[in-house]
Amino acid sequence: MADFITLRSDEATQEPVVTLESFAGQSNATAVRIEPGEDARLLLGQLDRISLVEVNFPAYTDGRGYSAAQILRESGYTGELRAVGDVLIDQLAYMRRCGFDSFKPNAPLDDADVEAAFARYPDVYQKTIDGRTPIWAKRHEDA
Amino acid sequence: MKILTANDLATGDVVWWAGDGWSRLLEQAVDTGADGEDIGKREEAARHVVGAYVVDAEQTADGPRPAHIKERIRGLGPTVRPDLTLKPEAGDLTAWVI
Amino acid sequence: MYQYDNYDQAMVDARVAEFRDQVARRLEGKLTEEQFRPLRLMNGLYLQLHAYMLRVAVPYGTLSGKQMRMLGHIARKYDRGYGHFTTRQNIQYNWIKLSDAPDILADLASVEMHAIQTSGNCIRNISSDQYAGVAADEVADPRPWAELLRQWSSFHPEFSYLPRKFKIAVIASAQDRAAMRLHDIGLELVKKDGVIGARVFVGGGMGRTPIVAPEINAFITEDEIISYVEACLRVYNRYGRRDNKYKARIKILVHELGVEEYRRQVAEEFAHMKALGLNPPREELARIAAHFATPAYESGLSDDLDRSDPDFALWVDRNVTAHKQPGYAIANISLKPIGGIPGDASADQIELMADLAERYSLDELRVTHAQNIVLPYVKKADLYALWKELEANGLGEPNLDLVTDIIACPGLDYCSLANARSIPVAQKIASRFASNGRDAEIGELKLKISGCINACGHHHAGHIGILGVDRKGTENYQLLLGGSGAEDCSLGTITGPGFDENGIVDAVEKATDLYLRERTEGERFLDTYRRLGMAPFKEAIYG
């Protein structure tokens, strides 16, 4: 069982994580946590000093964190992007597609289930920030 | 009286708490008193049923009659398809439902 | 029509395997019901009043004979011998076992069908005009765009846990046969200076807060539709309300922000998205469009019809629509037999319609938002033979768009959300108006019945609408007048106090009696209502 999953090759950031509100005022902080109602765009001017963004999912049915992740990645953020909270097997693949590269679930996840979830879909229909080639592009690659 | 209904987890069939287990027949539903919610939670946790809830009902000569039309239809089947109710031989039971 | 390639098939097959695994984990106890519910909903599986219910998508309402036959097979093998066609071009089965659901999805996948995202807070089945490709007034066949949107919305990682469900319709005619402006996003394809693009309407819907969608953008070129829709969704996903499920639809967000502000936010997001290359290239749209190419029509066919059988002539006049190709016709199959259950079809009937499509309609059928079926490519010379078979099998009711062609939700007979039964009211109204011939005398009258405020029966959009409510534990019905889901989209107004089941039938009759007295030449019920206003109708109903 895994209580932390990372897809990154570097070490997980151990820096203390501060709230979005206090992050702006703490120029030495490098790790920040975003709650569902908070605007990820507030971080855009400071991406180069951030090594970890935690996006909280208090309930997995609240999908705002997916947009927060996409916005950060689309804006060039390359640091660790961690989904925390109600992170379950069946949402892992979507989270990864939106740019999350580490996961800290409230309840540990079965390793085999995690592996199966990431491997489930052979292809993707949308272009997202994960860089995978969407089906519509593959169809015309050979032509 | 209070009776307890749910759906069988695997089949989806409507069931009623009959005291020592679940029955598809509303007439076998028993008064759960104040225990209905606990029984429902226990049975859901045991993965026998899903969607358990307690219903007000009145005891009649034919068995419990739920207080609300929704559970009377639930107990019988769709009024517009008497052939698919639990009592197809009884024909149109709209009067009992209303 | 569209056919899967290996990519599409692999995605749908993966979904079946995923759901098989999820059902197994549920039955083993690795998933709680709370965790499982959104997963089963995203595969169309509800827990309803009597059992599990499975909703299967018919993307943009188009299907082949083989696919239709599979729908019949599922009705027979896994259900109780019938299915229910819905207002969003889906079919529902009412008596499904959870343990059978993965096998059903596998059967569907074998004919390139699925139940993906037919429920849940995600992007639902893309709906469209049932006459797409054969309507004389369309600027293009809307289905290639609908298919493009289907693929884009399938397994969309960012928009699978939205504040609430999300419905998109695409049409390409000035005539709206898909209730486009009552969708979360409605796209109307239009041509400007020879270029195809879309008018974009956002924030329509029915339910407890009915709103006709305002226009958000007058013209988005066809190459940018996906990224524009993506921008519309992102604003919604970020700011749509999640504190109250009754205020979570995009219509509330657009309403609360105001159209101007919503449009501005979308424009800002769109400017950002344009740079991301989210739109499939033209070649992909062309690849899809090739599947919807004009069929090989026979030329030189006669437009003559032998109308000597009066029953046939009546059916032709009521249920057959002009086709853009000489010698062909569009045949509507009514699923509204007098006294029957609106939208229901037996396994035998479904299989028969599959056969008829293969024999008479170039192997294609359509499902309409009015819960009927269309055979879009029938040679006029074949109409009589087709009608004979429909007639013999309870599918020949000549009542398209009449007061007996009622849209009705399943209501309290099947639905755990309902407050009142819808079907018996539909049956009583149809029987009364058919028994004295007044249905034909009245002409077009769209009557729509919902068994609760969620409005699955489109009561807000009925020329006459009926809403079932719970009044102290008994069924009660409110009457609405003046709604329309068509291009003259409007929302009905409640007449006044509600009625019991017989009372609502009488009230409908009083309203139509007034119409028959007051109408001018060529005026539909809706037109007369709009001309006279509510007062005389109220007087006729309650006076």
Q: Which residues of chain C make contact with B42, given a CB cutoff of 8 A? A: none
**C356 and C468 inside one domain:** no
Are residue C256 and residue C202 in the same domain, yes or no?
A: yes
Q: C437 and C499 share a domain?
A: yes
The pLDDT of residue C255 is 97
List all residues of chain A from 34 to 63 with a beta carbon under 8 Å from chain C: 36, 39, 60-63
Our CA-based measurement puts residue C390 at a distance from the nearest CA of chain A, in whole angstroms, of 40
Residue C265 lies in a domain: yes
**Cross-chain CB nearest to C237 (options A64, A91, A126):** A64
Find the residue in C nearest to B13 (Cα): C51
pLDDT recorded at residue B98: 85
pLDDT (average), residues B69-97: 90
Of C229, C234, C197, C202, the C-alpha closest to C215 is: C202
Q: What is the pLDDT of residue B71?
A: 97
Across A55-81, average pLDDT? 97
Task: Kindly indicate the confidence band of residue A142, based on its pLDDT and cuts at 50, 70 and 90.
Answer: low
Same domain assignment for residues C164 and C262? yes
Q: Subunits touching A (CB < 8 Å, at least 3 pairs)?
A: C
C244, C359: one domain:
no
pLDDT, residue C308, reads 97
| The pLDDT of residue C492 | 98
pLDDT digit string (tens) for C414-427?
999 999 999 999 99
CATH code for the domain of C480: 3.30.413.10
Low-confidence ranges of chain C (pLDDT < 70): none
Boundary of a domain, candidates C109, C144, C177: C109
Interface chains of chain B (3 or more CB pairs under 8 Å):
C
Nearest to C96 among B12, B77, B98 (CB): B12
Q: What is the pLDDT of residues C17-32, one digit of tens each?
A: 999 999 999 999 999 9
What residues are paired with A53 via a beta bridge? A32, A81
Indicate if C207 and C258 belong to the same structural domain. Answer: yes
Would the CB atoms of C35 and A123 count as touching at under 8 Å? no
Write out pLDDT tens, residues C374-396: 999 999 999 999 999 999 999 99
Asked whether residue C56 falls in the same domain as residue C96, the answer is yes
* Test the A interface: residue of C26, C34, C158 with most A CBs within 10 Å: C158
Residue C400 covered by a domain: no
Q: Which of C392, C415, C433 is at the close of a domain?
A: C392
**Domains (ranges, CATH) in chain A?**
5-141 (3.20.20.70)
Q: Identify the CATH number of the domain in which residue C362 sits.
A: 3.30.70.3340
State whether B10 and C50 contact (CB < 8 Å). no
Cα dist. C528→B52, C133, C445, C481, C486 in Å? 50, 33, 11, 11, 17
Co-location of C94 and C149 in the same domain: no
d(CA C17, CA C99): 14
Q: Which helix (H) or strand (E) holds C218?
A: strand C215-221
Residues of C whose CB is below 8 A from B80: 341, 413, 421, 423-424, 427
List C residues 118-137 in contact with A (Cβ-Cβ < 8 A). Answer: 121
**Nearest-neighbour CA in chain C from A1: distance (Å):** 13
ipTM of the complex: 0.97
Q: Distance between CA atoms of B18 and B26, rounded to whole angstroms?
A: 9
The CATH number that applies at residue C45 is: 3.30.70
Residue C240 within a domain? yes
Question: Is C296 among the domain residues?
Answer: no
Strands C52-57 and C90-96 come out as antiparallel
Strand C344-346 versus strand C82-85 pairing type: antiparallel
- Which residues in chain C touch residue A64, judged by CB atoms under 8 angstroms apart? 237-238, 242
Closest Cβ–Cβ partner in C80, C97, C413 for B79: C413
- According to the model, what pLDDT value does residue A24 have? 87
Domain contains C92: yes
In a shared domain, residues C148 and C279:
yes
End-to-end CA distance of chain B: 19
Q: Which pLDDT score, from 0 to 100, does residue C24 have? A: 96
Q: How many folded domains does chain C comprise? A: 4
pLDDT digits 0-9 by tens, B9-65: 999 999 999 999 999 999 999 999 999 999 999 999 999 999 999 999 999 998 999
- Does a structural domain hold residue C295? no
With a cut of 80, say whether residue B91 has pLDDT above it: no
Please return the burial class of C518, using the count of CB atoms within 10 Å of its CB with bins 0-12, 13-18 and 19+: middle
Q: Which two tokens stand for residue A43?
A: 């971080």
Using a CB-CB cut-off of 8 Å, the residues of chain C touching A97 are 157-158
> Are C147 and C261 members of one domain?
yes
Residue C337: give the domain boundaries: 310-392
Alpha helices (H) in chain A, listed in sequence order: 20-23, 64-74, 92-97, 111-119, 135-141
Position A135 scores a pLDDT of: 98
The arithmetic mean of pLDDT across residues B88-92, rounded, is 82
Q: Cβ of C22 under 8 Å from any chain A Cβ?
A: yes
- CB contacts, 8 Å: C274 with chain A: none
C152 and C246: one domain? yes
Smallest Cβ–Cβ distance between A66 and the set C18, C157, C272 belongs to C157
| pLDDT of A14 higher than 80 | yes
Task: Name the residue of chain C whose CA is nearest to A87's CA.
Answer: C35
pLDDT at A143 exceeding the cut of 60:
no
- Mean pLDDT of the A24-37 span: 93
CA separation for the pair B77, A14 (Å, rounded)? 59
Question: CB C97 to CB B11 under 8 A?
Answer: yes
pTM: 0.97
Instruction: Please give the angle made by the CA atoms of C141, C215 and C525, to the nearest 5 degrees.
Output: 75
Looking at the fold, whether C143 and C285 belong to one and the same domain comes out as yes
- Calculate how close chain C gets to A48, using CA atoms only, in Å: 20
Q: How far does Cα C507 stand from its chain's mean position?
A: 27
Tell me the nearest-neighbour CA distance from A78 into chain C, angstroms. 17
Tell whether C127 is covered by a domain. Answer: no
* Axis crossing angle, helix C250-257 with helix C225-239, rounded to the nearest 10: 80
Set of chain B residues whose Cβ sits within 8 Å of the Cβ of C424: 79-80, 94
Does C328 reside within a domain? yes
Distance in Å, alpha carbon of B20 to nearest chain C alpha carbon: 22
Q: Which of C245, C260, C289 is the last residue of a domain?
A: C289
Evaluate if residue B96 carries a pLDDT over 90.
no
